[in-house]
Amino acid sequence: MKIGIYDSGIGGLSVLKELLPVFPTDHFIYYGDTRNAPYGSKSKEALWKINTVILNFFESNKIDILIVACNTSSALFLDEIKKYSNVPVFELIQPTAEKIKIDKFKKVTVFGTTRTIDSHCYKTSIQLLAPNTNVQEIACPLWVPFIETSSLIDTNEISIYADMSEKVLHAINWETEAIIYGCSHYPFLNRHLEKTWGHNSSNHPVKWINPAQTLASLLKKEKQRISSPVDSVPKIEFIITKSSTLFTTLSKQIIKNSTTTHNLNII
């Protein structure tokens, strides 16, 4: 099966990482729009134009399913993306809302880009399924530009440390039970965040939720139903719109345990 997956840049790699074990013999086409990153504070009009370029690209590549690995795009345009594409579309928000319902969290914080937070997509989807869940949404506009330009995600010298602490402490002092990475770039900060802030102010453990893992569990269950009968050659094609050393490094790290062949092109 040919799986199209896209994001503004490296964020979707955190999603690809979770999907590779589910689809080890399939053909992924990953579109990282590094030239237009970050998406999170661009106008809705500009973002729709950008999205249509990507959707047209996938249409001409005859994919079987599409993964929107960008919360900002699905927050703003999920219905339009579904109408525009003639293949099944999967994204990160709805499966995460279902998880919150199943896990019965009562106080949940969502970190996301300005556009995602302003859309209230997580709050709306969660409260539709679990009306008694309190959802606090916090925009983190500095995080994606930091992640996209940092050469070493694991560095201890995180230049946005003060901003990060302020936002996480806000959640922790509110006694949040779970924090959702409402932007696919943020799981790259997880090592640091989860280690530093594993408990809230009443010493209750905080569950850091990576929507990519939730989507991967869903797709594992759906795999049989959605798989196309035509076998594809297992491979990963990375397409980026501007050269990025960080993308090259991270994409290699993500696929290091996979035997699938891969290549990277800049368009």
Binding site for ligand DGL (CB under 6 A): 7-8, 11, 37-40, 70-72, 113, 116, 144, 183-185
- Phi and psi torsions of 53, nearest 5°: -60, -45
The one catalytic residue in 70, 97, 135, 219 is 70
* Among the listed residues 141, 165, 182, 138, the one whose alpha carbon sits nearest the alpha carbon of residue 41: 141
Task: Please state the closest distance from residue 9 (CB atom) to ligand DGL, in A.
Answer: 6
d(CA 133, CA 28): 36
Surface-to-core class of residue 267, CB atoms within 10 Å of its CB (0-12 exposed, 13-18 middle, 19+ buried): exposed
Q: Of the two residues 36 and 232, which places its CB atom closer to ligand DGL in the complex?
A: 36
**Measured from the CB of residue 156, what is the shortest distance to ligand DGL in angstroms?**
24
For residues 7 and 200, which CB has a smaller minimum distance to ligand DGL in the complex? Answer: 7
By the 10 Å C-beta count (0-12 exposed, 13-18 middle, 19+ buried), 150 is classed as middle
CB 260 within 8 A of CB 24: yes
Least distance in Å: CB of 148 to ligand DGL?
A: 7
Nearer to ligand DGL, 37 or 135 (CB): 37
Q: How many CB atoms lie within 10 A of CB 165?
A: 14
Shortest distance (Å) from residue 39 CB to ligand DGL: 4
Give me the catalytic one of 15, 97, 183, 255. 183
Q: What is the dihedral of CA 105, 111, 112, 118, to 10 degrees?
A: 80
Choice between 1 and 11, CB closer to ligand DGL: 11
Known catalytic membership, residue 140: no
Task: Mark whether 183 is an active-site residue.
Answer: yes
Annotated catalytic sites, by residue?
A: 70, 183
